[in-house]
């Protein structure tokens, strides 16, 4: 994958959706947890996964933002085959951390699980349980008080409900469930198929797709879209 990092300026990236274009949403900085440069993740094994990061973090950087496009633009709308776990849950907490070697920043979210749709991991998941999940990026506060935001993907917001597709402990992508409607977490062409779809209909279709996958009768990308209302 080719990485593109832009410092100090946001250059819009346009996604083509069917016969129309979808402009990326503005960055909501409040969705991005803040890490202190002097406070690394106490879980060193987790922090080590983000060592040797492409962010090239430097305390004296003069920019206010670093951005990279890190997602597969061809990701299916329901990437069940690419996910080790799929769940519905509410984000109850969010923190950001600096990697062990101080080159990377990443965010950790606590999810209160409502429903487990898929779980092929070694972690036990059930309704009512909590799990920590991760995403690359976050905000970083340097010793001089300046804050720099590192944007690779969008972030879920504390207090809201989501359908999350996970690869191990990392968020592959997801959908925000708000006021009975579905909203893509990420600006990806296929995910916008479900923009403003009815939540109940969407979840029913997701469960059906998982059942078909389990019976080996579904192929990647074969899901029929939910009609938005």
**What domain range is 100 assigned to?**
28-214
Structural domain count, the chain: 1
Q: Is there a domain that residue 6 lies in?
A: no
Say whether pTM exceeds 0.85: no
Adjacent-strand bridge partners of 178: 181
Q: Is residue 5 part of a domain?
A: no
Contact 99, 105 (CB under 8 A): yes
Is the residue at 96 inside a domain?
yes
3-state secondary structure of 83: coil
Q: Do the beta carbons of residue 110 and residue 54 sit within 8 Å?
A: no
Cβ contact 190:226 at 8 Å: no
23 with 12: CB under 8 angstroms? yes
What pLDDT is attached to residue 219? Answer: 52
Domain membership of residue 23 (yes or no) is no
Pairing of strands 138-141, 34-36: parallel
Low-confidence ranges of the chain (pLDDT < 50): 1-21, 217-218, 227, 229
Which pLDDT value is given to residue 194?
A: 97
């Amino acid at each position: 994958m080719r990485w593109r990092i832009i410092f100090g300026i946001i250059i819009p990236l346009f996604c083509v959706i069917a016969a129309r274009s979808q402009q990326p949403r503005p960055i909501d900085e409040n969705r991005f947890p803040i890490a202190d440069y002097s406070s690394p993740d106490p879980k060193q094994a987790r922090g080590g996964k983000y060592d040797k990061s492409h962010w090239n973090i430097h305390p004296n950087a003069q920019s206010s933002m670093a951005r990279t496009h890190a997602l597969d633009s061809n990701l299916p709308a329901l990437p069940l085959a690419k996910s080790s776990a799929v769940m519905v849950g509410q984000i109850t907490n969010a923190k950001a951390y600096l990697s062990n070697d101080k080159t990377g920043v990443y965010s950790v979210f606590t999810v209160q699980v409502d429903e487990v749709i898929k779980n092929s991991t070694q972690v036990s998941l059930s309704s009512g349980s909590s799990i920590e999940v991760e995403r690359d990026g976050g905000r970083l506060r340097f010793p001089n008080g300046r804050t720099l935001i590192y944007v690779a993907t969008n972030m879920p917001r504390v207090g809201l409900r989501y359908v999350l597709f996970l690869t191990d402990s990392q968020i592959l992508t997801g959908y925000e469930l708000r006021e009975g409607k579905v909203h893509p977490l990420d600006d990806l062409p296929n995910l916008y198929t479900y923009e403003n779809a009815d939540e109940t209909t969407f979840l029913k279709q997701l469960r059906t797709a998982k059942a078909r996958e389990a019976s080996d009768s579904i192929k990647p990308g074969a899901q029929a879209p939910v009609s938005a209302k």
